[in-house]
Structure 1
Amino acid sequence: MHLSNLDLKVCDFTSRLPGPLAGSILSDLGARVVKLELENALDPFNPKNANSPEEMFGAWYKNLNASKEQLVIKSLESSEVKNVLEESDIALIPGNKKYSVLKELFPETLFIEVCGGSGNQKYLHDLNALFLTKSFKLHLEATNGDTLPYLPFAGVVFAQQIALEALGAYVESTSGKKENRKIYLDQAASRVLDKLWTNSLEDSETPKALHTGKYPCYNIYQSSDGRYIGLAAVENKFWIKFCEIFNLTFSLEDRFDESGRTGQSISKMFLSYTGKEIEELIGNSDICINLFPKKEKE
């Protein structure tokens, strides 16, 4: 799918992760996207913002906005805002009153409001939204709540939903049905992530499934030099080839062994090789196994 033939123009007033990522997705699809920031209220991820909390956010800001035109504006009443909005098909705006006035001033533009909570809790961060999903139990049980998710999964899901809703609303507007939309973080996270939830997980005290380390054929291991190995030899042909390459005598049934014995044997086997040796053994064989590159010492 590519939007270049539509000559789609988007202005992005949002900040932090979900809105800018949605704008980046639309840009990747061929839309022309302009990011606008108020001079006295820069995006908190912008390294030029004195209150930007950490270095990683600055790198995210650069990646999320690399393909956009960028403008710093003095106010929402500036001529630059007027010019950009009059040329835009879609505007991504934060869900607050300060930006809502733009909908009245520019009725021809389609506005997508990026909001937090849909209920009484209006302000949500990624972690709050995850706690409102059933599926987050998988993470809590697996880590005993000792570790935060490293990536903001709710925000990433939210960004995808914003982009989809924006495109859906735009398509409808081309047939004469223009309707501004509000998209909520909690609803987006639950709508997507809870599709992966099942009653069997609800009833389990320590929910485990294929994707959470239940079986040895789909798990993370380590080499003797500390490289991580992602093994996902679930299908018959991949498991058979995996066993053949590493001289293992496991049966097809062993890939779903829940006793821990098969997994321990595989772990011991991988620890007898360096990452480079494993890569050489695999060669060009496509058996659903990957190694993380070794981090070079500084």
Structure 2
Amino acid sequence: MSKRLKILDLTHRLPGPLAGKILGDFGYEVIKIEDEKHKDPFLSGMFSDFDDSFEDWYRVLNEKKQILRLDFKSADIKAQIHQHLKDADGILLSLSPKLKEALGLDDASLKALNRAIAVVELEASKTHKKAMHDLNALALSGFLSLHVAHVDDQIVDPPFFPLAGIAFGQQVATQLLANLLAARDENKVVKSISYLYETTETILNPFWSANLQAQKRTKFLHNGAYPCYSLYRLKDGNYVALAAVEEKFWNDLVSLFNISLPLENRFDKDPKSFQIVSDRFAKMDTSEIENMTRDKELCLSIVRKI
């Protein structure tokens, strides 16, 4: 791009900073503005206090940004923010109504800028009024039902990756790009609100649609319905990730490893078919697999146990 567009990131935790990271990766200049006292909860406060891995998330999400810490209670804070607004092309917002007004980032103040600027504000939901985190959005949208479909344990670990928050961050970045184009075309402030819950439904629904949910289908290719697409343990404790779906890959796989499972059985849901593949890999270790597949195209990869 001929001019690095400038984005002000006034968000915290995961979705907004992820959106800012994505924009920074695209070459935009991203300035993350934080309160000098409270900073970001991933860096200072409850989240970082009980689990310091959040500090690593903060670092990775924000390492390409300029971090600017201001006293949000100072008498001239509006003027300080306005200085950065003068040449900003876009704003990511996740602030309380009271704080937005105090910083001069409420709707009336933004409209008074009277120029092209794109704004995306992050909120939890336009239909569910209770507070929520990533896990709640996954539950409310029905997708955790798939996660627990094949377990009966009293306590079930949530998915490690905060899928709803990640999808939300990507959606926010996309929405800001769309707003940038609209603001430039219309030469005015273009603001929209993105919602965690609604984004979760929009992004994830195509992969477990209402039709599939009504059928109560819970096993598919991507979560281990077929022996050609699964994880198998090796004798040294590592695993192989097998994705030999296509005919060529399957035929080459069974030939190389002497697996007695015909082509048509790669889509066999019978546990016996899984066991045949599992028994073969259980006798091998990582080095054997790597040596045998070094120059082969099999859609097979090593999963190293931590």
Is the Cα contact below 8 Å between 2:92 and 2:120 reproduced in 1?
A: yes
Aligned to 2:13: 16
Q: CA RMSD in A?
A: 1.9
Q: Which amino acid aligns with 1:219?
A: S
- Describe the SS at the equivalent of 2:258: coil
Q: Name the structure 1 match of 2:143.
A: 135
Match of 2:249 in 1: 238
Q: How does 1:251-266 map to 2 (within 5 A)?
A: 251-266=262-277
The one of 180, 183, 191 equivalent to 1:170 is 180
- What's the offset of the Cα at 1:29? 0.5
- In structure 2, the residue matched to 1:195 is 206
The Cα of 1:50 is off from its aligned counterpart by 6.7
Q: Secondary structure at the match of 2:86?
A: helix
Contact 1:142-1:206 within 8 A present in 2 as well: no
Give 1:206 shift.
6.0
Distance in 2 separating the partners of 1:264 and 1:177: 63
* Structure 1 residue ranges without an equivalent (≥5): none
Contact residue 260 and residue 276 of structure 2 kept, 8 A = no
Structure 1 partner of 2:85: 85
Whether the aligned pair in 2 keeps the contact of 1:132 and 1:190 (CA below 8 Å) is: no
TM-aligned CA distance change 1:200 to 1:278, over 3 Å: farther
Distance change in 2, residues 1:277/1:152 (3 Å): same
Alpha carbons 2:261, 2:276 under 8 Å: kept = no
TM-score, normalization by structure 2 = 0.89
CA contact 1:134–1:194 (8 Å) conserved in 2: no
1:27 maps to: 24
What is the distance in 2 between the residues matched to 1:234 and 1:55? Answer: 40
Offset at residue 115 of structure 1 (A): 0.7
Please give the TM-score of this superposition, normalised by the length of structure 1. Answer: 0.91
Taking the aligned partners of 1:192 and 1:185, their CA distance within structure 2 comes to 11
Instruction: Spell out, residue by residue over 1:161-220, the C-alpha distance to the aligned partner (whole angstroms, 9 max, x if none).
Output: 000000001101111164211110011110010111235532455611111111000001
Cα deviation 1:83-102 (Å, max 9, x = unaligned): 22222111101153022541
Q: What corresponds to 1:44 in structure 2? A: 41
2:60 to 60, 63, 67: 63
Instruction: Output the CA distance in 1 between the equivalents of 2:42 and 2:198.
Output: 24
Residue 124 in structure 1 maps to residue 132 in structure 2:
yes
